[in-house]
Structure 1
């Protein structure tokens, strides 16, 4: 089957280690779009953090799509929502309380790309997260927000060693009711149990009438495995984790070597 949709993780996949899109990557993406292939950025970022890369790739319009918050929101680039799964106020409070109990830097994101934290001493990773995603950053206790305040996801952030120590405790506390994923070395993310990149990709494929064999998915981390399981052609970046590579059919070159552009040309544009 020919590839009709390419799902791309952003960090360490689309972007180099210096957070740039290589000219070879941009060219391959634009050639794919010119052939009618849907190129869908699939990321844990909010939409505001994706928009600069959509602009660079000239992706726009109601017939192109983006998956944000690790699958909590899927929408067209004109703002038409395909699927949305938010967590309610009780979940938000529970995520915040657990972070305080475990002494983990904690923040949550609403569906409008705003970051909220109850941490008065805001960790550097939260500040970096807000800056990188062009997001508002608000320091608020749960009682300062309305009773219907809902979130797209929660996140525990910080040094890799800190999260390594805390990950099992987080999973034991939340995994029976939420989707818990190590989205990167510095992020543990919490979402609706029905949310992941794979489910979002499945929802979008249904709307576009695509079969798994027509989907190529490229990523590098544990949160990309769910979309690997949906795509007929799962591709792990050469710089990806061993876990991601174990679930892939193809290992591309690294993000700094131009591996993404090469693998798009080899498997989607041949």
Structure 2
């Protein structure tokens, strides 16, 4: 039975409770994992700015943002990998969603731009962002690595996603994260590719990795990981590929409780009480 050397946490619906916080109990547990020599990473659909405050609360070595489009080296405080979307496809996709009068959020290497105010982005994810950039036309040739699309009318989302897959599916990957939100990245870039990169950089075999999530965008993460865990509050499709499912939900420290149990089973005994 392989011991665990690397843990990859999803944030929303997994490590975070419904108030967007990591409980003190979960923090203490994760620090105890580090005391046992286990490396912690964060692997989220959020952008780097949307997860940065959590990185300061945990002993994180690497983190992946935007569903794998960006990998951040926390120890060296630098972006290590960015997978850019080909600019021609970025421009065409943005033109299409603007014609539909949708909210579009584009991640460039050094800034984040949105075409109009969004309570989701500026009210929830980027409440600490200074001088948010709103550019209604989103024109230009600047390289982007991720495009977020927010649709208020959930009846429209299937049509929009279908059109983008039809015309651009060979060039981009579309990830759903929430009923009215999806993200567009370079093709074949996922949370799973980010985990593979991080594990290779740390010289850790994938058999020694453990990942936990709750949503459809976590599917490639769990498929890649040696040990795949799903939250009890997660989507049924994700639970179907998980080795284990938590007993408690994200509001009751379900992730760290199950991981603690698995670590004990696999010989990752605590060094400290």
Q: What TM-score, normalized to structure 1?
A: 0.88
Match of 2:5 in 1: 4
> Deviation digits for residues 42-96 of structure 1, max 9, x if unmatched?
0122222222111122x26xxx111112111113112344432112432331221
Whether contact under 8 Å (2:213, 2:229) holds in the other structure is yes
Q: How far off its partner does 1:155 sit? A: 1.0
> Deviation digits for residues 99-134 of structure 1, max 9, x if unmatched?
12333222211233x321234xx3433433552573
Question: 3-state SS of the aligned residue for 2:149?
Answer: strand
148, 157, 160: which is aligned to 1:155?
A: 148
Mapped pair 1:115 → 2:116: no
Whether contact under 8 Å (2:42, 2:64) holds in the other structure is yes
| Consecutive unaligned residues in structure 2, runs of 5 or more | 266-273
Whether contact under 8 Å (1:10, 1:42) holds in the other structure is yes
Tell me: CA distance 1:133–1:188, structure 2 relative to 1, closer, same or farther (3 Å): farther
Question: 3-state SS of the aligned residue for 2:144?
Answer: coil
Q: What TM-score, normalized to structure 2?
A: 0.87
Length, aligned pairs only: 260
Match of 1:47 in 2: 48
Question: 3-state SS of the aligned residue for 2:250?
Answer: coil
Whether contact under 8 Å (2:18, 2:250) holds in the other structure is yes
Q: Map 1:13-162 to 2 at 5 A.
A: 13-57=14-58, 59=59, 64-77=61-74, 78-112=76-110, 114-119=111-116, 122-128=117-123, 130-132=125-127, 134=129, 137-140=132-135, 141-143=137-139, 145=140, 147=141, 149-159=142-152, 160-162=154-156
CA distance in 2 between counterparts of 1:233 and 1:131 reads 32
Question: 3-state SS of the aligned residue for 1:56?
Answer: coil
CA distance in 2 between counterparts of 1:186 and 1:50 reads 20
> Deviation digits for residues 169-201 of structure 1, max 9, x if unmatched?
333233221011102223210001131110011
CA distance in 1 between counterparts of 2:79 and 2:169 reads 27
Question: 3-state SS of the aligned residue for 1:70?
Answer: helix
Question: 3-state SS of the aligned residue for 1:44?
Answer: coil
Tell me: CA distance 1:9–1:135, structure 2 relative to 1, closer, same or farther (3 Å): farther
Backbone CA RMSD of aligned residues = 2.1
Tell me: CA distance 1:224–1:133, structure 2 relative to 1, closer, same or farther (3 Å): farther
256, 264, 273: which is aligned to 1:261?
A: 256
